[in-house]
A and B are shown apart, each in its own frame.
Chain A
Amino acid sequence: MSEKRIMLGNDAIARGAYEAGVKVSSSYPGTPSTEISEFLAKYEEVYTEWAPNEKVALEVAAGASISGVRSMACMKHVGLNVASDPLYTLAYTGINAGLVIVVADDPGIASSQNEQDTRMIARSAHLPLVEPSDSNEAKEYFKYAFDLSEKYDTPVIFRTTTKLSHSQSIVELGERVVPEDKTYERSMTKYVMMPASAIGRHKVVEAREIQMEKDASTFPINKVEYNDKKIGFITSGVPYQYVKEAFPNASVLKLGVINPLPKAMIEDFVKEVETVYIIEELEPVIEEQVRSWGLNVKGKECFTKQGEYSANMLKKVINGTDDCVFEKAVSPARPPILCPGCPHRSVFSVLNKLKIHASGDIGCYTLGAVAPLNVIDTTICMGSSISLLHGMEKAKGKEYIKNWVATIGDSTFLHTGVNSLINMVYNKSSATVMILDNRTTGMTGHQEHAATGKTLKGEDTYAIDLAELCRSIGVPNVIEINAFDVQGLEKTVKESVNSDTLTVIIAKAPCALLKGQKFPYVCKVDSEKCKKCGMCMKIGCPAMTRNEDGTVKIDETMCNGCGLCTNYCKFGAISKEER
């Protein structure tokens, strides 16, 4: 018997890629997709890399596919927006060897800026979309996605969701089978998308979709389980598990391929079953199509377009029953916060003191928006901090942004922030941009990037110098400073926001969670000297709380020893001692 292992959905996808004979993978980290590339990097036979952004990643994978090897790119749902430019046209060119794009959606918004549904994009780009419902399916369907890709000459989107990616279930391991590389043949009409070729390829796209629609009812991963025919469900992905949990005796049509839909199979099912519910998280992608065929089903009039579903929720809506026996307590919220020793806290404490607004970006530092730091005013998408600030200046003039900065992390800056900075240089900005350089991609769990000097495989490589990069594109004033130098930061920020010269301040200090980053100190409060004024509490360090008498105390196990708090006690009550 082959080996069985309990695997995270993302681990299983990586295993599927390995077994499918994938040779090239390029990705940009993004929760909940990140670990796929990290697991895949452990297989020596597969070339894996971090690209600076998802557009680059998809193009790298497409190049590998055109050259003749099975390839893939991984990203989160909003990453697909960045990669949309190549995506829509790759649907036209098709592939040479199999090309699969893993896209991780985040229903419930565990760690994202929106809740968009990738199935909508698959439909508009005319690309097939495959979706598994547990780890073993993730591995098996991933291999099947390559078969579909090669059979129909198309990139395939492989959709996962947070619940699938970050749940573990049992997987039966298989062997790696590497298909022979495809021969590359020059074909201008297939790979050079100028109007004459693109017009021809659009016909191919439509014909392909019609053919796939016909074949979809025979795809082995679209399955019907007939049980009690009074009630039935059409569903896919993790919601299938919710259906089975809540209604083990119902009939189920489980879709493995969501685009295109198996029309004949669905028509038969709806004919056979008395009441059919369509259970899909987020948008009514399946439902709207099924209704357009004139079939009578129940869907979003009963269920929300928001968040994750659950078995209990289905039972509540359909049966009107609730398994919950105890009342939910009202407890103080515990939102995520910057870690003890986080260099971002130091920067935000200074901006807060100077009453400066920040145009923010995507990363841990988005947490600079919440109390008690309250510094970040806007967060939209990767790289947008710099361009938003530029827009404000052009709308309202130089004076308006004298109490504004843009804050962006090192990895996010290289992702798309640098484009916005080029725009600032070109269009004569006077803004202040702060790159919070913590030497890693922090929020997603410490991935290397083009400025860290290491590849995804752990090899040494050239590390882009952010300061030199900024100077080379023409930023007239670039200042590098230690992120924990509170006095220096205060002076630098004041000067630069008040000047009319475009300035980039690179505040440098490694992420507190990186290995070996603990400072050799611990901070202690002298309760005799503590005046209970609470100034030190304004930095929002989770290691700091109050004693019953109102004096401040610092939890020694949580304290990272960064010493930021010592800067905010006027009475010298906090000291940094050697651990």
Chain B
Amino acid sequence: MNIMVVGVGGQGTLLTSRIIGKTALNAGWDVKLSEVHGMAQRGGSVVTFVRYGKKVYEPVCEEGSVDVLISFERLEAQRYAHFLKKDGIMIVNDTRIDPMTVVIGACQYPNGILEALSSEHKVYTINGGEIAKSLGNSKVLNSVVLGLAAKHIGFTKEEWLEVLQATVPQKTIEINTRAFEKGYEVE
């Protein structure tokens, strides 16, 4: 199973991929993750990979091999869509964050990204930011998105929650659990 988590530096993509990796490990799979640290993290486009199976060699997913692509932002979904395999699916947090190239007018933010992606791939969207805000903490956005992705990746809800609750800070266990469930309920 090849999972790719993309977004903008600072959105919590790393934590999300670590939870996926731990859940797969608990289920008894061989697991590899690949992360991004350093300069690239500073508001740039970030990519993490999670792979699990009987035996995993390469720690990254290849173009054309991804089963589930989780994107925390629309433009990043477009940027990495070619990593999907033929029947791979896409989970997109429906939000727009302008890169500096757009802010300074050097490029235009593309219109109709989701429509275009939906014509080629199976795309599930969610407004994680709004749901997180309604729960009272915009930081739990990644748990909302993870909730939706979890349903399409596999494992039981209990297996996911066990890892989620062991990973997030003690004080935020309850709100993260609710955030995950909100995402999990989305069809």
A-contact 0/1 string along B86-129, CB 8 Å cutoff: 10000000000111111110111110000000001000000001
* Contact yes or no, B36 A335, CB < 8 A: no
Instruction: Name which of B73-81, B151-159, B177-185 contacts chain A.
Output: B73-81
Q: How far is the CB of A236 from chain B (nearest CB, A)?
A: 14
* Contact yes or no, A166 B36, CB < 8 A: yes
Q: Does B25 contact A (CB under 8 A)?
A: yes
Q: How far is the CB of A51 from chain B (nearest CB, A)?
A: 20
Cβ-closest chain B residue relative to A308: B60
* Contact yes or no, A31 B37, CB < 8 A: yes
* Contact yes or no, B60 A332, CB < 8 A: no
A542 to B76 alpha-carbon distance, docked (Å): 16
Which residues of A, 1-34, contact B by the 8 Å Cβ criterion?
6, 8, 31-32, 34
Find B39's partner among A34, A167, A333, A443 (CB 8 Å cutoff): A443
Q: Does B167 contact A (CB under 8 A)?
A: no
- Given A168-B32, A444-B38: A540 and B63 interface contact (C-beta under 8 Å): no
The total of chain B residues at the interface (CB under 8 A) is: 57
* Contact yes or no, A110 B104, CB < 8 A: no
* Contact yes or no, A163 B62, CB < 8 A: no
Find B33's partner among A6, A111, A244, A371 (CB 8 Å cutoff): A6
* Contact yes or no, B102 A238, CB < 8 A: no
Which residues of A, 297-339, contact B by the 8 Å Cβ criterion?
310-312, 322-329, 331-339
Find B64's partner among A110, A312, A337 (CB 8 Å cutoff): A312
Q: How large is the interface on A (under 10, 10 to 19, 20 to 34, 35 or more residues)?
A: 35 or more
* Contact yes or no, A311 B76, CB < 8 A: no
A244 to B107 alpha-carbon distance, docked (Å): 40
Q: How far is the CB of A542 from chain B (nearest CB, A)?
A: 5
Q: Does B165 contact A (CB under 8 A)?
A: no
* Contact yes or no, B59 A238, CB < 8 A: yes
Which residues of A, 535-569, contact B by the 8 Å Cβ criterion?
537, 540, 542, 544-545, 557
Find A333's partner among B10, B59, B99, B108 (CB 8 Å cutoff): B99
* Contact yes or no, A542 B39, CB < 8 A: no
Tell which of A31, A111, A168 has the most Cβ of chain B within 10 Å. Answer: A168
* Contact yes or no, A537 B110, CB < 8 A: no
A168 to B76 alpha-carbon distance, docked (Å): 23
A residues in contact with B30, CB < 8 Å: 170
B residues in contact with A425, CB < 8 Å: none
Instruction: Name which of B40-48, B142-150, B168-176 contacts chain A.
Output: B40-48
- Given A166-B35, A168-B31, A325-B85: A6 and B25 interface contact (C-beta under 8 Å): yes
A residues in contact with B75, CB < 8 Å: 331-332, 334
B residues in contact with A170, CB < 8 Å: 25, 30-31
A444 to B81 alpha-carbon distance, docked (Å): 30
B residues in contact with A167, CB < 8 Å: 32-35, 59-60
Q: How far is the CB of A183 from chain B (nearest CB, A)?
A: 41
A-contact 0/1 string along B47-87, CB 8 Å cutoff: 00000000011111011110000000001101101101110
A339 to B40 alpha-carbon distance, docked (Å): 12
B residues in contact with A443, CB < 8 Å: 38-39, 42
Cβ-closest chain A residue relative to B65: A323
- Given A332-B107, A540-B103: A337 and B31 interface contact (C-beta under 8 Å): no
Q: Does A367 contact B (CB under 8 A)?
A: yes
B residues in contact with A488, CB < 8 Å: none
* Contact yes or no, A336 B41, CB < 8 A: yes
Find A163's partner among B60, B76, B78 (CB 8 Å cutoff): B60
Q: How far is the CB of A141 from chain B (nearest CB, A)?
A: 17
A537 to B102 alpha-carbon distance, docked (Å): 11
Q: Does A364 contact B (CB under 8 A)?
A: yes
A residues in contact with B9, CB < 8 Å: 336
* Contact yes or no, B59 A110, CB < 8 A: no
Q: Does B8 contact A (CB under 8 A)?
A: yes
Q: How far is the CB of A320 from chain B (nearest CB, A)?
A: 15
* Contact yes or no, B59 A326, CB < 8 A: no
- Given A6-B21, A6-B25, A557-B138: A338 and B42 interface contact (C-beta under 8 Å): yes
Find A334's partner among B31, B39, B76, B81 (CB 8 Å cutoff): B76
B-contact 0/1 string along A351-377, CB 8 Å cutoff: 000000000000010110011100000
Q: How far is the CB of B140 from chain A (nearest CB, A)?
A: 12
Which residues of A, 139-172, contact B by the 8 Å Cβ criterion?
163, 166-170
* Contact yes or no, B110 A310, CB < 8 A: no
A544 to B35 alpha-carbon distance, docked (Å): 28
Q: Does A242 contact B (CB under 8 A)?
A: yes
* Contact yes or no, B104 A372, CB < 8 A: yes
* Contact yes or no, A329 B79, CB < 8 A: yes
- Given A110-B38, A168-B35, A331-B79: A337 and B100 interface contact (C-beta under 8 Å): yes
* Contact yes or no, A334 B59, CB < 8 A: no
Q: Does A245 contact B (CB under 8 A)?
A: yes
Q: Does A482 contact B (CB under 8 A)?
A: no
* Contact yes or no, A334 B8, CB < 8 A: yes
Find B38's partner among A31, A323, A331 (CB 8 Å cutoff): A31
Which residues of A, 70-101, contact B by the 8 Å Cβ criterion?
none
* Contact yes or no, B101 A335, CB < 8 A: yes
* Contact yes or no, B84 A326, CB < 8 A: yes
* Contact yes or no, B101 A333, CB < 8 A: yes
Q: Does A241 contact B (CB under 8 A)?
A: yes
What are 28 inter-chain pairs, A to B, with CB distance below 8 A? A6-B33, A110-B37, A111-B38, A134-B32, A163-B34, A166-B36, A241-B58, A244-B58, A312-B64, A323-B64, A326-B81, A326-B82, A328-B82, A332-B107, A332-B108, A332-B109, A333-B99, A334-B44, A334-B101, A335-B44, A338-B43, A366-B39, A367-B42, A371-B100, A371-B106, A544-B103, A545-B103, A557-B129
Which 10 pairs across A and B sit closest by C-beta, in order of nearness?
Answer: A111-B38, A31-B38, A336-B44, A332-B107, A167-B59, A334-B99, A323-B64, A324-B64, A168-B33, A334-B45
B residues at A contact (CB < 8 Å): 8-10, 18, 21-22, 25, 30-45, 56-60, 62-65, 75-76, 78-79, 81-82, 84-86, 97-104, 106-110, 120, 129, 138
A residues at B contact (CB < 8 Å): 6, 8, 31-32, 34-35, 110-111, 134, 163, 166-170, 238, 241-242, 244-245, 310-312, 322-329, 331-339, 364, 366-367, 370-372, 443-445, 537, 540, 542, 544-545, 557
Given contacts A32-B37, A34-B37, 10 further A-B contacts (CB under 8 A): A167-B32, A242-B57, A242-B58, A245-B57, A312-B63, A326-B120, A329-B79, A334-B43, A335-B100, A364-B39
